[in-house]
Amino acid sequence: MTTFSQLRELRLEGNFLHRLPNEVSGLQHLKAIDLSRNQFRDFPEQLTTLLMLETINLEENEIVDVPMEKLATMPALHTVNLRFNPLSAEVRVIAPPLIKFDLLMSPEGARAPPP
């Protein structure tokens, strides 16, 4: 990862990933990351250190809790896609007043369409 320090977009969708390496924190020019259709159970908190990040796509994972306080301090963040994740009720209720970015969520209990 450190070889690609100027990387602007990273697409890792559909790769059965469940965590990111710590080196992701070194991608300080990253603007968009697509981690959809993987196996993340925890929100990859390394992403909250990337100040240029505008778009995070974590659709169709197994994420329950999200570090909203950290995401709320990210200056460039525009969109976080958490559709089709089993988000906790706390995330669903507390998040909207806290944030200035678009948070995309499915209705509670919604399932992703078959591939």
Question: Does the pLDDT of residue 96 top 80, yes or no?
Answer: no
Give the H or E element holding residue 69. Answer: helix 68-72
Domains in the chain: boundaries: 2-104
Q: How confident is the model at residue 2 (pLDDT cuts 50, 70, 90)?
A: low
Classify residue 38 by its DSSP letter.
S
Per-residue pLDDT tens digits for 39-88: 999 999 999 999 999 999 999 999 999 999 899 999 999 999 999 999 99
Mean pLDDT across 77-102: 87
Query: What is the structure's pLDDT at 100?
Result: 86
Residue 65 and residue 14: Cα distance in Å, rounded? 21
Query: What is the structure's pLDDT at 92?
Result: 81
Query: What is the structure's pLDDT at 93?
Result: 79
How many CB atoms neighbour CB 56 within 10 A?
26
Strand locations in the chain (E): 9-11, 32-34, 55-57, 79-81, 102-104
Mean pLDDT across 104-115: 81
Give the three-state DSSP class for 90. helix
| Mean pLDDT score across all residues of the chain | 91
Higher pLDDT, 5 or 23: 23
Give the pTM. 0.91
Domain spanning 2-104 has what CATH number? 3.80.10.10
Residue 68 and residue 51: Cα distance in Å, rounded? 15
Question: Does the pLDDT of residue 110 top 90, yes or no?
Answer: no
Sign of CA dihedral 1, 81, 61, 95: positive
